[in-house]
A and B are shown apart, each in its own frame.
Chain A
Amino acid sequence: MGANSLHTPPPPQESAISRAPIERQSRRVRLNRARRYLWNHVVTGLAILSTIVVIAPLVAILVYLIYKGTSSLNLAFFTKIPAPVGEPGGGMSNAIVGSSIVLALASVLGIPVGIAAGVYLGEFGRGKLLAGAVRFTADVLNGVPSIVMGIAAYALIVVEQKHFSAFSGGVALAIMMVPTITRTTEEMLATVPHAIREAAYGLGVPKWRTVLSVTLKTASPGIITGCMLAFARVAGETAPLLFTAFGNQFWSFKLNEPIAALPLQIYIYALSPYDEWHRLAWGGSLVLIVLIMASVTLVRIYANRGVLKGAS
């Protein structure tokens, strides 16, 4: 474009490269465009391929579980307790209820402690020695194998009480939930812009109130995701329950008695030599995965209600 184009704009046909007929463009321009076009498609293709690689195993597991597990799902599966060896039929109702009780207990114990520790790290402990120690402990705790958690809960609670219990199982799972929740809470609080905290301070809102009603609320979608991740992770854990909740062939609703849990029951059935029990193990696995997905989805829907138009 020449200098005079400032005063007399050239006709639109020649003003932009893209408008010029293809044959009038130089070879270099055309080659360049072809290369960019190609490269764009290659990279998009790679991204789609990676997505498929990520999703494929999940879909494969689900399909296989549905294929293997649906045949053993009937009314008895959800209403009956396990049948004694040799007798046909039986279900996992007590294990489903037992898992729910243990997980509810783990969430009630683990989520408040995890969030509170995260709030301390994110809002009050900046640069303090204690915060560094807490952060380090959380990271180490995150890497502790789940069976070690089970042994710890066994030594601290089961040995002391002299019997297996739903309570000790819940505690073992709760300890596993805490570090994940703490670290996600801290990270999510760090994403809340400082300007929003200042807005609250500027209105004469005390710090504790700002943290509760402004900062935590702004970060809540991320914190809820963290809690759900922690929940889903411990929901399928078998090892920490082996010598804490222990498992139970019968109904039990008491926290101070051994209690059945889906992963434990699946473990027992899968190791058995009976085809009938193998089928039940597949059914149990399907139910476990569906329960986890359902609870995560429900919490998401509940958390998203009342989100306003245009909220970021």
Chain B
Amino acid sequence: MGVGIDVENLNAWYGSTHTLQDISLNIPANHATALIGPSGCGKSTFVRCLNRMHETNPIARATGVVKMGDVDIYEDANPVEIRRRVGMVFQRPNPFPTMSIYDNVASGLKLNGFRNRAVLDETVERSLKAAALWDEVKDDLKKKSGASLSGGQQQRMCIARALAVDPEVLLMDEPASALDPVSTSKIEDLIFELKRQYTIVIVTHNMQQAARVAENTGFFLNGKMVEFDSTHKIFTNPKDKRTEDYITGRFG
């Protein structure tokens, strides 16, 4: 099952640039939460702070409290552990090019030393089914490289790979922005299925996409969160003038 995330006064820097300023919000469990805003507003940095990916960049740093359930991810756990509980799907599909489809999906378990064949087989099948890719690849799981799939298939494989380690939260950083409309709609259908089991945070440039998949939406601008509310409210009756300008296409 998914778990909720409470963020309090999160600040983040790249070098001397203050990319996130005092972000506080509650992300409810087993819901999809969308983050929208113009390029460079800090949405990606924000999700990267939720699994401590932000700090893999040597010049980056972050302060504040991020609580996943009862766990303060910056105080109570090490980053590697956190990333096993908070899965991530990136903007561009990033399969491991030397690995087969099977090994790609199993990589999170295998690279952490898990070797039980039967469990691996079962996990790979379950994850690929959950990512709606099983029927397309089941015949060449071990024959084909993960990089040989189409872009949309690769992205669903990356989702399967993230699901295979059984996370509680799934972060998606513009997961469909490099895909064609058919693949995009498959990914969106998938998000609907997945949020029954996982808490989903999705960054998107596509406002229709946010409206379609997410119950709650946050609007980011220049490193600050301008507004956070139910998606319906944000898109029909935003409180802030800047949110209204953005969703009506007046800038960004």
CB neighbours (8 Å) of B94 from chain A are 193, 195-196, 198-199
Q: Are B145 and A196 in contact (CB under 8 A)?
A: no
CB distance from A303 to the nearest CB of B (A): 12
CB neighbours (8 Å) of A203 from chain B are 83-84, 87, 107-108, 111-112, 161-162, 165
Instruction: Flag whether B92 is at the interface (Cβ < 8 A).
Output: yes
Q: Are A312 and B145 in contact (CB under 8 A)?
A: yes
Instruction: Flag whether B235 is at the interface (Cβ < 8 A).
Output: no
Q: Are B148 and A202 in contact (CB under 8 A)?
A: no
Which of B58, B85, B108, B162 has the most chain A CB within a 10 Å cutoff? Answer: B108
Q: Are A201 and B53 in contact (CB under 8 A)?
A: yes
Q: How does the 8 Å CB contact mask read for B135-146 relative to A, with 1 for contact and 0 for none?
A: 000001001110
Instruction: Flag whether A209 is at the interface (Cβ < 8 A).
Output: yes
Q: Are B56 and A213 in contact (CB under 8 A)?
A: no
Q: Are A310 and B83 in contact (CB under 8 A)?
A: no
CB neighbours (8 Å) of B144 from chain A are 308-310
For the complex, what is the distance from the CA of A310 to the CA of B95, rounded to whole Å? 12
Instruction: Flag whether B9 is at the interface (Cβ < 8 A).
Output: no
CB distance from A156 to the nearest CB of B (A): 38
- Looking at B19-27, B96-104, B205-213, B218-226, the stretch in contact with chain A turns out to be B96-104
Q: Are B162 and A195 in contact (CB under 8 A)?
A: no
Q: Are B53 and A202 in contact (CB under 8 A)?
A: yes
Instruction: Flag whether A311 is at the interface (Cβ < 8 A).
Output: yes
Q: Are B145 and A126 in contact (CB under 8 A)?
A: no
Instruction: Flag whether A254 is at the interface (Cβ < 8 A).
Output: no
Instruction: Flag whether A48 is at the interface (Cβ < 8 A).
Output: no
From 150 to 170 in chain B, residues with beta carbon under 8 angstroms from any chain A beta carbon are 158, 161-162, 165
CB neighbours (8 Å) of B165 from chain A are 203-204
From 268 to 312 in chain A, residues with beta carbon under 8 angstroms from any chain B beta carbon are 308-312
Instruction: Flag whether A59 is at the interface (Cβ < 8 A).
Output: no
CB neighbours (8 Å) of B107 from chain A are 200, 203, 205
Q: How does the 8 Å CB contact mask read for B29-59 relative to A, with 1 for contact and 0 for none?
A: 0000000000000000000000101001010
Instruction: Flag whether B81 is at the interface (Cβ < 8 A).
Output: yes
Q: Are B98 and A209 in contact (CB under 8 A)?
A: no
Please pick, from A201, A204, A309, the residue contacting B145 in the complex, using a CB distance under 8 A: A309
* Size range of the chain A interface in the assembly: 20 to 34
CB neighbours (8 Å) of B96 from chain A are 196, 199-200, 214, 218
CB neighbours (8 Å) of A202 from chain B are 51, 53, 83, 87-88, 90, 162
Q: How does the 8 Å CB contact mask read for A185-211 relative to B, with 1 for contact and 0 for none?
A: 000000001011011111111100110
Q: Are B111 and A198 in contact (CB under 8 A)?
A: no
CB neighbours (8 Å) of A195 from chain B are 90, 92, 94
Instruction: Flag whether B147 is at the interface (Cβ < 8 A).
Output: yes
Q: Are B145 and A310 in contact (CB under 8 A)?
A: yes
Q: Are A201 and B83 in contact (CB under 8 A)?
A: yes
Instruction: Flag whether B119 is at the interface (Cβ < 8 A).
Output: no
Chain B minimum-CB-distance residue to A220: B98
Instruction: Flag whether B80 is at the interface (Cβ < 8 A).
Output: yes
For the complex, what is the distance from the CA of A218 to the CA of B95, rounded to whole Å? 11
**Given known contacts A308-B144, A309-B143, A218 and B98 CB-to-CB distance under 8 angstroms:** yes
CB neighbours (8 Å) of A127 from chain B are 58
Instruction: Flag whether A217 is at the interface (Cβ < 8 A).
Output: yes
CB neighbours (8 Å) of A309 from chain B are 140, 143-145, 148
For the complex, what is the distance from the CA of A203 to the CA of B97, rounded to whole Å? 16
CB distance from B149 to the nearest CB of A (A): 8
For the complex, what is the distance from the CA of A192 to the CA of B124, rounded to whole Å? 26
For the complex, what is the distance from the CA of A297 to the CA of B211, rounded to whole Å? 58
For the complex, what is the distance from the CA of A201 to the CA of B97, rounded to whole Å? 16
For the complex, what is the distance from the CA of A168 to the CA of B148, rounded to whole Å? 48
Q: Are B111 and A209 in contact (CB under 8 A)?
A: yes
Given contacts A218-B96, A220-B98, A308-B145, 17 further A-B contacts (CB under 8 A): A195-B92, A199-B95, A199-B161, A202-B88, A203-B83, A203-B111, A203-B165, A204-B112, A205-B112, A206-B80, A213-B111, A218-B97, A218-B98, A308-B148, A310-B145, A311-B97, A312-B97
Identify 25 residue pairs between A and B in the complex whose beta-carbon atoms are under 8 Å apart, listed by A's number.
Answer: A127-B58, A195-B90, A196-B94, A198-B56, A199-B95, A199-B161, A202-B51, A203-B84, A203-B87, A203-B107, A204-B81, A204-B112, A205-B112, A209-B111, A308-B98, A308-B99, A308-B100, A309-B140, A309-B143, A309-B145, A310-B144, A310-B148, A311-B145, A311-B147, A311-B148
